[in-house]
């Protein structure tokens, strides 16, 4: 039997030692941890051992802190059995002792036989209490496992291409609030020897792969991450990592990238395969999970350019982040983003105009490798837009086919025609699919968003306003506008911020709050990402212009 950890508190040393001997005589399970001559020292000891005590035998009248005050304070923090011993046969003390959970109250001198009988009963009660705690802990573990299994099944359903989005309901309420990052883990091209693998080999390697993913996902649940789930997709594996709302976005992104590298290394080390991992941007609202998933599928197409065994993000391509378009050529990076945005919005006029500007910029570049990289980047981005709508507009040509057309084109002029064909074909397909009946709730949603930019805006709030299921609403909004709900919110906030910054009487914190951000530093970073200038630099430019 597990020992019954006991402390004795009495200001008379010879009585305290006598009680300790008496306790030891009651059998092996009783273990005297320590003795104290006042309640204050005993309380400090409990704090030191984090309450790892089963039985407290204490006098009532003591200096520094009496027994009743000691038990009252200790029971606020820890669970144990108190047993009072006193030389005062006074109802007031007896009553106070019983109020604080005393299992008994002995008067000095102690009746040894009665004391032993009582400790045997206490021993039984402690054993029963432990058994109850074990059962409760086991039930809580099972409940947590069931909850995790239910959450994982929900994630599978949400990410399934066959999901009926209108029936998903408020599934996000099953998950904790916070920031999320989605990782898409995909096997690269199989080695030549894979042709000779037996069914037994494939089963063993599949088991090893999923063990690796499970182990790394569990060990990744340390700061800034507080939880994680993984599940098998059609031809890949997904991992969702959760961080608290207060977690620093930069830290979350860097740790997600580090976890992705760990998946790559482990698979390469323990199996004959390699994997590439696409890491989504921060998912601020879990109703946008499907959109994050589509973005990672598009990122994995960069394997056609850079090969496998890589980590891909929207800004860093390659395991070491060696290919960073916004670092190599920020102007072209922003131009590509604007072209993609026009395609998403099915605005072929804007898309064609921005495409002309893009090729004007390419003509000025001296590096053939950079020009090739930019063209590949744009092509894969446009293909990714098509794939986001593939459920509705049908399958596209493979990215390999699109890239090969560009590769075989003779000169920049012919390349421009091939890219323009892809751009206009995509915008036309998206525009034809858009339904008039879906446009009205989207326009109502936009109007509501514009009226509440200074407030906290969530997908659920906006969807409830137009009486649509949040996940289905996200799909409708993306189809009609070419951007996610929260991207639209951010874009409108950044545009409003430009107007508010004209008022030089407002400090940065005031501006930040008027567009819905409580953290001025986060607002500044976001503003610079969108406009290429910090708020103070933008104000200075306005001053010089006027």
Burial 490-504 (b: 16+ CB within 10 A, else e): bebbbebbbeebeee
CATH number of 438-545: 1.10.10.60
Residue 286 sits at the vertex; the CA angle it makes with 253 and 173, to the nearest 5 degrees, is: 130
SS (H, E, C) 285-333: CHHHHHHHHHHHHHHHCCHHHHCCCCEECCCCECCCCCECHHHHCHHHH
Q: Shortest CA distance to 302 belongs to which of 290, 289, 291, 313?
A: 313
| Structure-token match 């760990």, residue found | 262
pLDDT given for residue 220 in this prediction: 84
Q: Is the dihedral of CA 19, 20, 26, 32 positive or negative?
A: positive
What residues contact 43, with CB distance under 8 A and at least 6 apart? 65, 70, 73, 74
What residues contact 1, with CB distance under 8 A and at least 6 apart? 29, 127
pLDDT given for residue 488 in this prediction: 93
**Annotated domain spans of the chain:** 4-133, 174-321, 324-433, 438-545
d(CA 242, CA 176): 8
At 47, is the secondary structure helix, strand, or coil?
helix
Task: Return per-residue pLDDT of the chain as tens, 546 residues.
Answer: 688 999 999 998 988 999 999 999 888 789 999 999 999 999 999 999 999 999 999 988 888 898 888 988 998 899 898 888 877 655 466 555 556 555 567 777 888 888 888 888 888 888 888 888 888 888 878 878 788 899 999 999 888 877 777 677 889 999 999 999 999 999 998 888 888 889 998 999 999 999 999 999 998 888 899 989 999 988 899 999 999 998 988 899 999 999 999 999 999 999 999 999 999 999 999 999 998 998 898 888 888 888 889 899 887 653 334 455 555 566 777 788 889 888 888 888 898 999 998 888 888 887 787 788 888 888 888 888 888 777 767 777 788 888 888 877 777 888 888 888 888 888 888 887 776 556 788 999 999 999 999 999 999 999 999 988 898 899 889 888 888 999 999 999 999 999 999 998 999 999 999 999 988 998 998 899 888 889 999 998 888 887
Q: What is the Cα gyration radius of the chain? A: 33
Q: Which two tokens stand for residue 265?
A: 């290394």
Decide which of 2.40.37.10, 3.20.20.100, 3.40.50.2300, 3.40.50.300 is the CATH code for 4-133.
3.40.50.2300
Q: How far from 541 is each of 209, 222, 529, CA to CA, in Å?
A: 54, 43, 17
Q: Is the peptide bond before 109 cis (omega within 30 degrees of 0)?
A: yes
- Number of H-type helices and E-type strands within the chain: 23, 10
What residues contact 118, with CB distance under 8 A and at least 6 apart? 83, 103, 104, 106
Could you tell me if 290 and 158 are in contact, meaning their C-beta atoms sit under 8 angstroms apart? yes
Could you tell me if 415 and 409 are in contact, meaning their C-beta atoms sit under 8 angstroms apart? yes
User: In sequence order, what DSSP letters do the residues of 462-495 get, joined into one string?
Assistant: HHHHTT--HHHHHHHHHHHHSS-HHHHHHHHHHH
Which fold would CATH assign to domain 174-321? Alpha-Beta Plaits (3.30.70)
> How many CA within 13 A on the CB side of residue 503?
12
32 bridge partner residues:
6
Q: Which two tokens stand for residue 509?
A: 């914190």
Could you tell me if 483 and 344 are in contact, meaning their C-beta atoms sit under 8 angstroms apart? yes
d(CA 447, CA 444): 5
pLDDT given for residue 434 in this prediction: 72
d(CA 46, CA 65): 14
Could you tell me if 532 and 334 are in contact, meaning their C-beta atoms sit under 8 angstroms apart? yes
What residues contact 420, with CB distance under 8 A and at least 6 apart? 352, 355
């Amino acid at each position: 039997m597990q020992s019954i950890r006991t402390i004795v508190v009495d200001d008379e040393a010879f009585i305290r030692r006598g009680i300790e001997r008496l306790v030891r005589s009651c059998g092996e399970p009783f273990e005297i941890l320590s003795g104290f001559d006042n309640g204050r020292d005993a309380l400090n000891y409990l704090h030191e051992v984090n309450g790892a005590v089963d039985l407290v035998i204490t006098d009532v009248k003591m200096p520094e802190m009496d027994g009743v005050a000691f038990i009252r304070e200790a029971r606020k923090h820890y669970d144990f059995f108190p047993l009072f011993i006193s030389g005062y046969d006074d109802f007031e003390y007896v009553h106070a002792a019983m109020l604080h959970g005393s299992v008994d109250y002995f008067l000095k001198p102690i009746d040894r036989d009665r004391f032993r009988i009582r400790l045997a009963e206490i021993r039984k009660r402690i054993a029963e209490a432990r058994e109850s705690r074990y059962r409760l802990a086991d039930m809580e573990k099972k409940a947590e496992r069931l909850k995790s299994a239910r959450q994982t099944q929900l994630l599978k359903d949400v990410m399934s291409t066959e999901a009926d989005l209108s029936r998903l309901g408020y599934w996000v309420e099953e998950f904790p609030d916070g920031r999320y990052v989605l990782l898409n883990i995909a096997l690269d091209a199989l080695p030549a020897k894979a042709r000779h693998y037996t069914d037994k080999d494939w089963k063993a390697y599949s088991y090893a792969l999923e063990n690796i993913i499970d182990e790394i996902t569990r060990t990744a649940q340390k700061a800034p991450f507080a939880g994680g789930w993984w599940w098998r997709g059609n031809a890949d594996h997904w991992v969702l990592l959760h961080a608290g709302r207060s977690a620093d976005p930069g830290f979350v992104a860097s740790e997600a990238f580090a976890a992705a590298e760990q998946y790559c290394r482990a698979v390469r080390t323990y199996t004959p395969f390699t994997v590439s991992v696409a890491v989504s941007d921060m998912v601020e609202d879990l109703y946008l999970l499907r959109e994050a998933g589509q973005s990672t599928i598009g990122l994995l197409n960069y394997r056609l350019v850079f090969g496998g065994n890589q980590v891909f993000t929207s800004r860093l391509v390659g395991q070491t982040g060696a290919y960073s378009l916004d670092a190599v050529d920020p102007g072209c990076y922003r131009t590509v983003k604007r072209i993609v945005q026009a395609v998403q919005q099915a605005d072929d006029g804007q898309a064609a105009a921005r495409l002309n500007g893009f090729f004007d910029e390419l003509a000025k570049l001296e590096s053939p490798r950079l020009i090739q990289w930019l063209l590949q980047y744009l092509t894969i981005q446009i293909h990714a837009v098509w794939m986001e709508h593939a459920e509705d507009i049908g399958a596209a040509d493979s990215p390999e086919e699109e890239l090969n057309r560009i590769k075989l084109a003779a000169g920049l002029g012919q390349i421009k025609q091939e890219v323009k064909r892809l751009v206009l074909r995509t915008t036309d397909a998206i525009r034809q699919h858009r339904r008039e009946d879906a446009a009205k709730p989207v326009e109502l949603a936009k109007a509501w968003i514009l009226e509440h930019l200074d407030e906290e805006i969530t997908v659920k709030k906006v969807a409830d306003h137009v009486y649509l299921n949040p996940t289905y609403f996200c799909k409708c909004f993306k189809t009609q506008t070419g951007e996610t709900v929260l991207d639209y919110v951010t874009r409108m906030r950044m545009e409003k911020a430009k107007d508010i910054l004209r008022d030089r009487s407002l400090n940065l914190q005031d501006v930040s709050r008027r567009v819905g951000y409580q953290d001025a530093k986060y607002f500044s970073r976001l503003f610079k990402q969108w406009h290429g200038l910090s708020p103070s630099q933008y104000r200075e430019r306005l001053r010089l212009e006027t």
